[in-house]
A = this chain, B = another copy of it.
Amino acid sequence: MARNRPYTCGLDAAIDVVGGKWKATVLWMLEDQGPLRFGELRRQIPAVTEKMLIQQLRELEADGLVHREAYHQVPPKVEYSLTDYGRTLEVALRPLGEWGHANMARIEATHA
């Protein structure tokens, strides 16, 4: 989002990391269901395109939140999982997720 660095507050920094269109969803899936293969993630999130999913995964990996494990097999197998650091983020994100869940109807109604 081309945020204002240096960040004005921790929130700003955190949202910069987690603000991508699919990142929250990916993090949530990996937390909820443990390590997942690329294709599994893709099927869990039907609306995402392959390109976007890879892009988001690469960014999460570069940020150290997600670990990518490639098995040298044919056909290829790649597994994504949360790192310890990623898990600390997930914990910090949980109240926000609960807030969103609790107020989902209101958000959908008011947020054009």
Contacts and interface: CB of A to CB of B under 8 A. Distances in A.
A99 interface: yes
Contact of A97 (B10, B24, B107, B112): B10
Contacts of A69: none
Q: Is the interface of A mostly helix, strand, loop or mixed?
A: helix
Interface of A: 1-19, 21, 24-25, 27-28, 45, 47, 62-64, 85, 88-89, 91-104, 106-108, 110-112
Given A7-B107, A11-B93, A85-B106, 13 more contacts: A1-B19, A3-B21, A4-B47, A11-B25, A11-B97, A13-B101, A13-B107, A15-B19, A62-B111, A85-B103, A89-B99, A94-B95, A96-B96
